[in-house]
Structure 1
Amino acid sequence: MRRLALLALLLPLITPAQPALAQATTCPVRVDPAAFASETRLTTLAEQQEAFGPRPTGSTAHAGYIDWLEDELAAIPGLQFSSLPYAIDRWDSLGTSLTVGGTAVQVAAPVPFSAPANVTAPLVHLAAGTNITAANAAGKIVVRDLPWTNVPNLLFYPLGGLGYSMYDPGLTINLLGSESMEAPAAADADLKAAAAAGALGVIEVSQLPHAQIEGMYAPYEGLPYGLPGAYVGADQGKQIKDALASGQQVQATLSVDAAWTPTTTRTLLATLPGGSAQKIVVESHTDGMSPVWDNGPLTMIEMARYLSSLPVACRPRTVQFAFVTGHLYQHLTGPDVREGGAGQLAAQLDAEYDQGLVSSVVVLEHLGARRYDAVARPGGLPGKQLVANTTLTELLMVPVSESTQLRELVKGHIQHWDVRRTAVLKGLSAADLTKVPRHCSFGGEGTPYNQHLLPVIAPIAAPKTLFSPQFGAEAIDVAAMRKASLAFTDVVLDLGPMAQSAVAGDVTSMRQMRASGTPGCV
């Protein structure tokens, strides 16, 4: 009886503890913004990133940035670290110069991976649309105008072919207009064609002033070109064309001093174990020339910090943060495959997917990219200049693989966090129903994961400032970046308990089709 009486006295003390235990394991429905990095914190991270300067793949600055990321992550409890190393021949620019008719012309940058050489030859200007051939270019230095791409805005709407949903409550996007930006990647085709034609060098002329393109870095294949190439600004381009206007032969000397140096680079993996070994991979690259180019890792630091603060019960799946190398060295493992570190990791995850070890991939690029408008230069100066738009960010394009539930999930979080000027897309290339997946391109780092038939969410913007280190942390709208960071942290939070069949959607049947012989994109 004494034992029964003692038990009766203890029961009231034991029972109240049960609701408290249940409350302790209640998982958040959404991220508490007060528990996430502030705008001040994100600004500090962006400034710390900017302090490393341009980070070509394998450079000292790039290696230092990866080490810094690891140090930041090491302060977060529960993360487990590993690395995927790669041996490369790093390309280092040691200096570039140009003289035209004996007069020095200021050079903005060499074309990355162009041949170290000092060549003297007549100049020839070959306008856009003119093929570079042996007949018009052999033995000469080719002057070429960089093109501007124009993409109709209608494409990003549901009726335009690529769109799933558009979030633009301020109606800031002209449905009948288009977006344009200069395309230095065109230099790849120019240098290859010029080398094949027997030309001795290429000068690429930008429409932007020298001050805005100095240090420009594109294309970034990681393979040597057979001749030297250089970029010049709009004023220098006019200087060259004025020299050619007389119709007389003009001699030029183009010198590119560069070195190939054996080195190693690495992809950093930080894994946060969850309730199961099946993982959600959150990815961004670490090599870039400006803070906006690769600010995804900054969001990933704070996403990892937030998720690690939750009980394991609130992380049904493991989350792996992949800080990938080789974005600026696409032929990371040799000349035969263009993939970068993202392609390497995608192939690994593809092999693991059917074993139930991979759930999905979220790729973060260019979050909060401030919009810059290309306007006529004052005083009759040639070309255009980029001017910051004080109210708008660039359109955030979010390709999502073929799962309606996954697309609805992203759409809901974009709208909840008011991530304005955002298009949820089916892809960023025209559909090809003879292949799996149907849309081969996701526009950036997300593409190889999509092509390897993994469930993918891949936000990316296309800022006009992307390729130039002359635009620093001021090219990021930190308030917009924070909203996007909260939205995609919520996405990762919801991916944890989501049924894999819903995450995958049509990816499951497309993988079966691939196994049965349907052609893929890779």
Structure 2
Amino acid sequence: MGRMRRMGLPLLALAAGLALPSSALADEIACPARVDASAFATEAKLLQLAERQQSFGVRPTGSQSQKDYIDWLEAEMSAIPGIRTSSLNYDIDRYESVTTGLTAGGASVPVAAPVPFARSTGAAGVTAPVVYLASGTNITAANAAGKIVVRDLPTLSVPNALFFPPLLGWAVHDPGLTIPLLGSESLEAPAQSNADIAAASAAGAVGVLMVSQLPHAQVEGMYAPYEGLPQALPAAYLGVDQGQQLKDALAARTLASATLTVDARWTPTTTRTLLATLPGGEAKKIVVESHTDGTSALWDNGPLSMIEMARYLATLPVECRPRTIQFAFTTGHLYQHLTGPDVREGGAGQLAAILDREYDEGKVAGVLVVEHLGARQYDAVARPGGLPGRQLVVNRSLSQLLWLPVTDGWPLRDMVKAAIQDRDVRRTAMLTGLDGADVTRVPHHCSFGGEGTPYVQHLLPTIAAIAAPKTLFLASFGTEAIDFGLMRRGTLAFTDMVMRMGTMSQADIAGDMTFMREQRARGARGCS
């Protein structure tokens, strides 16, 4: 029937007195199987986009800087022929820090950043005795009540072996053999602030100071954790030197009290997810997604890759875009409880719920999430001159390991592996997920590490790129944290994936997701 319809088109056109060029016929078009790199954005173009993104500054959810950035993205996408845009709007109370400060021993101590959503002290601040409680020491009423608690940020160590078969990995692209199987990657964990602030509040403390192992200049503007819920106490981050200053004064018994100021406010505002749709031969869509809130050009540069994906794909005849492609620029990544305190999902979770329903209606083929492409590797090394802590130094011979979870199904995984190898997107670990498998639930893996997580939890066929560079939460790092050659190769690879998903059967894209959705319909346990 499809062949008969294509043959009938010229006759209908002639009957209407129209001249339909023969190139419009699918049979006479040689559709590319991969992107023509010579017709794609250059490294210089990606750098130009990243510098424009960086010019908006830090983009907390609902901030004017995020709104301006989304408006710019919409203008860029709307200028592409064939693209139509729409939005999903959300009402939130935006958190804004007005002033953050610390005075100890009569002297001002530089503060790197407030902990996001920390309780406001007002302009006067809170004055109390100070206590240092080392990691591993429980925060209790006996040692913390009525005090400002000084606490070190912990360091997490992640073994490389996790990302190889037979654990979480199913393939690794590392031609230079730079990922030692018995090695590990370590990074500070600012998410621990949530637990320490909650424990300090329960113990009756009046404030918390989280101390990094990095110097002030590198942690200034740190933004994590980002639940979107009010913290129970005023809290702030300190660089290693400022933290050591407090610890030394406490050890010498020369510091009696300090004044912590976190003057902040909550303001009703709106934020939105931008959708930009490029029609294809059929309405069933491939969704390409990344978020718009972040601190830097690296967090997140996915939207920049999406602009260039769209520009290239829009140049192809519609016959070479068998499926519609929807670019989703989500909000709420830095405000995970976007719709209220009971559900942690962000804008990605909201969109995933919509796509879940549409999938059952035959409107969705799959989802591809693009984050942190071209992230440079930074090493935490000893500071010179015997200074305390460590500092981040770029490792110009390596890129940050890219984690690439893909939902169960070998046709989809084989396609992803081929695209990564073809474009030489090193160093990439292709994974089943980023948590332990549990075959008694659907899906078996509930975490894809970032924006991809809600989509796999909603049992949508998903490809989700994510990296965890040490610079991720730090506003002090800009475009220098991106290898634009690698970012370009990654963008080419993911555009190749979109093109190939356009010609794959739905069964091959879905893989085991089809069976898991049937299990869910019969009452199987999902992710909590």
Match of 2:282, SS state, is coil
Q: 2:378: which partner in 1?
A: 372
Q: 1:202: which partner in 2?
A: 208
TM-score, length of structure 2 as denominator length: 0.94
The 1-side partners of 2:453 and 2:23 are apart by: 47
The 1-side partners of 2:319 and 2:274 are apart by: 26
Q: 5+ unaligned residues in a row in structure 1: which ranges?
A: 1-16
1:223 maps to amino acid: L
Q: CA deviation at 1:246?
A: 2.5
* Alignment of 1:49 onto 2:49: no
Q: CA deviation at 1:247?
A: 4.8
Match of 1:112, SS state, is coil
* Alignment of 1:130 onto 2:158: no
The 1-side partners of 2:304 and 2:241 are apart by: 37
* Alignment of 1:177 onto 2:183: yes
Match of 2:342, SS state, is coil
* Alignment of 1:37 onto 2:41: yes
Q: Taking structure 1 as reference, are residues 23 and 501 closer, same or farther at Cα in structure 2, changes over 3 Å only?
A: closer
Q: 1:114: which partner in 2?
A: 118
Q: CA deviation at 1:131?
A: 2.1
Q: 2:465: which partner in 1?
A: 459
Q: CA deviation at 1:134?
A: 2.0
Q: 2:29: which partner in 1?
A: 25
* Alignment of 1:139 onto 2:146: yes
Q: 2:362: which partner in 1?
A: 356
1:236 maps to amino acid: Q
The 2-side partners of 1:277 and 1:192 are apart by: 48
Q: 2:303: which partner in 1?
A: 297
* Alignment of 1:98 onto 2:105: no
Q: Is the 8 A contact 2:249 2:255 kept in 1?
A: no
Q: CA deviation at 1:133?
A: 2.1
The 1-side partners of 2:28 and 2:471 are apart by: 46
Identify the match of residue 78 of structure 2 among 74, 80, 85: 74
Q: CA deviation at 1:23?
A: 7.7
- Alignment identity in percent? 68
Q: 1:84: which partner in 2?
A: 88
Q: Is the 8 A contact 2:281 2:319 kept in 1?
A: yes
Q: 1:367-392 CA distances to partner (integer Å, 9 max, x unpaired)? A: 00011110000000000000011121
Q: 1:262-309 CA distances to partner (integer Å, 9 max, x unpaired)? A: 110000000011111111000000000011011000000000111111
The 2-side partners of 1:435 and 1:22 are apart by: 43
Q: 1:420-464 CA distances to partner (integer Å, 9 max, x unpaired)? A: 110110000011122111111100000010111100000111110
Map 1:245-264; keep pairs closer than 5 Å.
245-247=251-253, 250-264=256-270
2:147 maps to amino acid: K
Q: 1:388: which partner in 2?
A: 394
The 2-side partners of 1:94 and 1:233 are apart by: 20
Q: 1:24-69 CA distances to partner (integer Å, 9 max, x unpaired)? A: 5221011000111111110100000001110001111100000000
Q: 2:448: which partner in 1?
A: 442
Alignment root-mean-square deviation, CA: 1.3
2:78 maps to amino acid: A
Q: 2:65: which partner in 1?
A: 61
Q: CA deviation at 1:358?
A: 0.8
Match of 1:26, SS state, is coil
2:440 maps to amino acid: T
Q: 1:310-349 CA distances to partner (integer Å, 9 max, x unpaired)? A: 1111111110000000000001001000100000000111
* Alignment of 1:270 onto 2:276: yes
Q: 1:223: which partner in 2?
A: 229
Q: 2:406: which partner in 1?
A: 400
2:452 maps to amino acid: G
Match of 1:265, SS state, is strand
Q: Taking structure 1 as reference, are residues 103 and 357 closer, same or farther at Cα in structure 2, changes over 3 Å only?
A: same
Q: CA deviation at 1:127?
A: 1.3
Q: 1:190: which partner in 2?
A: 196
Match of 1:332, SS state, is coil
2:111 maps to amino acid: V
Q: 2:508: which partner in 1?
A: 502
* Alignment of 1:167 onto 2:155: no
Q: Is the 8 A contact 2:158 2:186 kept in 1?
A: yes
Q: Which moved more, 1:355-364 or 1:98-107?
A: 98-107
Q: 1:83-124 CA distances to partner (integer Å, 9 max, x unpaired)? A: 000011000111111122222211000001001102111111
Match of 2:131, SS state, is strand
Q: 1:6: which partner in 2?
A: none
The 1-side partners of 2:449 and 2:136 are apart by: 24
Q: 1:339: which partner in 2?
A: 345
Match of 1:260, SS state, is strand
* Alignment of 1:322 onto 2:328: yes
Q: 1:492: which partner in 2?
A: 498
The 2-side partners of 1:69 and 1:173 are apart by: 36
TM-score, length of structure 1 as denominator length: 0.95
Q: 2:157: which partner in 1?
A: 150
Q: 2:318: which partner in 1?
A: 312
Map 1:409-488; keep pairs closer than 5 Å.
409-488=415-494
The 2-side partners of 1:73 and 1:456 are apart by: 23
Identify the match of residue 288 of structure 1 among 289, 294, 301: 294
The 1-side partners of 2:28 and 2:101 are apart by: 65
The 1-side partners of 2:527 and 2:466 are apart by: 20
The 1-side partners of 2:165 and 2:40 are apart by: 33
The 2-side partners of 1:20 and 1:138 are apart by: 75
